[in-house]
Chains A and B, each alone.
Chain A
Amino acid sequence: MTAVEVAEKKSRWRAVGFLSLAVLTLTVMVVDTSGRSNDFLQGLWFGLILGSALNLLPLKRMLRPRDEVLKLMDDEGTRENRRLSSTAGFWAAVVAAMALGLYSRSSDAIDAWMVGQLVATAAMVSAMVTFGLLELRAAR
């Protein structure tokens, strides 16, 4: 298998992984905010968000800059997809924060933890879904 083929295979799995992680993060947040919250769920949600954020960074490439496969997995096409997904995440966070701000004016005050959870989840899920879909579209 050539480096291009290995990178292709790994990139596809990475995209599927991001989409699965997005679904899992959203599910955990929904369960956690629907009155069944406990320390385990909050810890799991926190870990998922942190893990997702770190996964969106090209950390492996930074640590092993001479690795051929990693170089191909973070080429200019992928960097563009990463940039677009970060933009999507930013706007999702802005919209979520504004919606929560408006909601809090007409309803009871929302717990600060929940605000953080909703904004961070909106940002990370939209960034991961955008990245995953762009990568899968590119691989067609």
Chain B
Amino acid sequence: MSERLANRIKEERERAQLTQAALAELVGVSRKTVNTVENGVFTPSTMLALKLSQALNVPVEELFWIER
């Protein structure tokens, strides 16, 4: 059975009125990394997932979940 890491970064980012570039600046990565994480292309490290959840002020388990 295939599993993938789903996320609601886009919704939370838009709620916080942040662009991808602004969020990237907050967590210290490039905009393209934020873009690939947001689109589910790249699975972030635990460190980056926690930084994203802190920047968006959302618990990490609400920001990311495993989709089967």
Residues of A participating in the B interface, judged by any CB pair closer than 8 Å: 2-5, 7-8, 11, 71-73, 75-78, 80, 135, 137-140
B residues engaging A (CB < 8 A)?
21, 24-25, 28-33, 35-37, 41-42, 44-45, 48
Instruction: Tell me if B's interface is mostly helix, strand, loop or mixed.
Output: helix
Tell me, in angstroms, the Cα distance from A135 to B35 when the chains sit together.
11
Chain B residue with Cβ nearest A72: B30
Contact A77 B21 (CB under 8 A): no
Min distance, Cβ B50 to any Cβ of chain A, angstroms: 13
Q: Across the two chains, which residue of chain A brings its CB closest to B48?
A: A76
- Cα distance A5–B37 in the bound complex, in angstroms: 18
Least distance between B62 CB and chain A CB atoms (Å): 22
Return 12 A-B CB contacts under 8 Å, by A number.
Answer: A4-B25, A4-B31, A7-B30, A8-B21, A8-B31, A72-B28, A72-B29, A75-B33, A76-B45, A135-B32, A138-B32, A139-B31
